[in-house]
Amino acid sequence: MTTSYKTMVVKIGSSTVVGTDGKVNRSFIGGLADQAAALRKLGWRLVVVSSGAIACGYPVLGFDRKPVGDLPSLQACASAGQCIISSAYDEEFHARDLLTSLVLLTRHDTARRTSYLHARDALLRLVELGVVPVVNENDTVTVDEIKFGDNDTLAALVSCLVSADLCVTLSDIDGLYTANPHEDPTAEFVPVVHKIDAKIIASAGDSSTSVGTGGMITKIRASRILMTAGIQSVICSGEEPDALVRLARGESVGTLFDPPAERLDIAPRKLWIALGDKAHGSVTVDDGAAKALVSRGSSLLAVGIREVDGQFAEGDVLDVCDPSGMVVARGIAEADSDVLELAAGRRQDQIASNRLLANLAEKPAIHRDNLIVFA
């Protein structure tokens, strides 16, 4: 569908939207609303992925700190805090003649292809109608089995759902460095990234705040998925003046993750495989299989598998790791974990002669049509 506007997704961390006193940073949200209005004049629509519900919920419920490990209390904090956060967005954006909506998601809403598409259609319609959706994980009902785990991953998912032109993460750091700048004074700023490799992943440090759940590593992983989807992304400081408007005008702000040109036409179903559901297990492959997947887009055969990790069933999503342990692809398993363990390292003729593995004789461990290779 061709539209007359571009779409920007902005992810806002807890430490940016909620102060250390547990109160919503109304000044920041007001500034964000000003930018949303300016973006509208530049031909952009905005989608907000906002953390902060638990962070501003626990003080009003009488906790002196986030009740880590107490799931019912965390859910209660999320419920109370979400009302506070939503009211702040509604009031500040309404003052600029902008309408917001609240969209709460869990993995349960996206793990199935049909519900994933329903979420996509709802978000696209909201954006088309000129609404600014404010998206968050539904922490009030979420348990570990259906959690995204961090809003960096959620922002990448939302960007794919709305076919965003740009995803911006407003953080407590101004971009990517060669090492953690809080610990290493020789760390150098990285303005542009064209490929996320093991070295870049290794340079990512942990979160420097007590209110967030993600760190630089989750932002890097999310940016890698966005690069795979052909979507540009930026990590920059939440204190950077008018960062969103400046980016819309083409200025350089923070670290830009620029996807390769060949990543501009990825099938929507493969993006769902990458983001819709969490990985239920993983397989580690040898060098030859890894090169075949990455360079030639081949299916994964059992003969290339060296190790199977986790309990999963046929049809579950798996991570595919190279010998170094780096995730190079994600795909849908053609067999249960115990079957793949027996088949690992075997040629197709050996599999065919084994009556326990007969069902896998005529198909790969993961078919190329159900496999997405990360950029």
| 40 has a pLDDT exceeding 90 | yes
Q: Pick the residue with more confidence: 205 or 258? A: 258
Q: Is 197 helix (H, G, I), strand (E, B) or coil?
A: coil
| Residue 209: per-residue pLDDT | 39
Q: Among the listed ranges 80-89, 104-113, 167-176, 282-291, which one has the minimum average pLDDT value?
A: 104-113
Position 263 pLDDT exceeds 60? no
Sequence ranges of the chain with CATH classification 3.40.1160.10: 6-269
Tell me, what's the pLDDT at 214? 47
The reply, when asked if residue 115 is annotated as ligand binding, is no
Domain 279-373 CATH assignment equals 3.90.700.10 = no
Q: CATH 2.30.130.10 occupies which residues in the chain?
A: 279-373
In this prediction, residue 262 has a pLDDT band, given cuts at 50, 70 and 90, of low
The reply to whether 51 sits in an annotated binding site is: yes
Checking if the pLDDT of 128 tops 90, the result is: yes
- Asked if residues 364 and 300 have their Cβ atoms less than 8 Å apart, the reply is yes
Q: How many residues does the chain have?
A: 375
Range 163-175 burial, b when 16+ CB lie within 10 A, else e: bbbbbbbbbbbbb
Cα separation of 1 and 127, whole Å? 13
In the predicted model, is pLDDT for residue 340 greater than 50? yes
Could you tell me the two tokens for 343?
């088949």
The torsion angle over the Cα atoms of residues 113, 114, 115 and 120, rounded to 10 degrees, is 90
pLDDT band of 289, cuts 50, 70, 90: very high
Residue 356's CB: how many other CB atoms inside 10 A? 11
Mean pLDDT of 72-99: 94
pLDDT at 149 over 70: no
CA distances, 371 to each of 91, 269, 357 (Å)? 44, 10, 22
The answer to whether 97 is a known ligand-binding residue is no
pLDDT band at 69 (very low <50, low <70, confident <90, very high): confident
11 is in an annotated binding site: yes
Architecture of domain 6-269: 3-Layer(aba) Sandwich (3.40)
- The annotation status of 14 as a binding-site residue, yes or no, is no
pLDDT at 206 over 70: no
Which pLDDT belongs to residue 2? 55
- For the cut 90, the answer to whether the pLDDT of residue 278 exceeds it is no
Sequence-ordered list of residues with C-beta below 8 angstroms from that of 362, at least 6 positions apart, any chain: none
pLDDT confidence band for 265 (50 / 70 / 90)? low
Report, as an integer, the average pLDDT of 134-139.
Answer: 88
Number of other residues whose CB lies within 10 A of the CB of residue 16: 25
Determine if residue 216 is labeled as part of a ligand binding site: yes
Kindly report the number of other CB atoms within 10 A of residue 275's CB atom: 27
pLDDT > 50? residue 146: no
pLDDT at 240 over 50: yes
Q: Is 172 annotated as a binding residue?
A: yes
pLDDT in tens, 294-322: 888 899 999 999 999 999 999 999 999 99
- CA distances in angstroms from 243 to 1, 170, 181, 201, 235, listed in the order given: 28, 9, 21, 25, 10
Tell which wins on pLDDT, 22 or 302.
Answer: 302
**pLDDT band per the 50, 70, 90 thresholds, residue 213:** very low
- Bigger pLDDT: 260 vs 286: 286
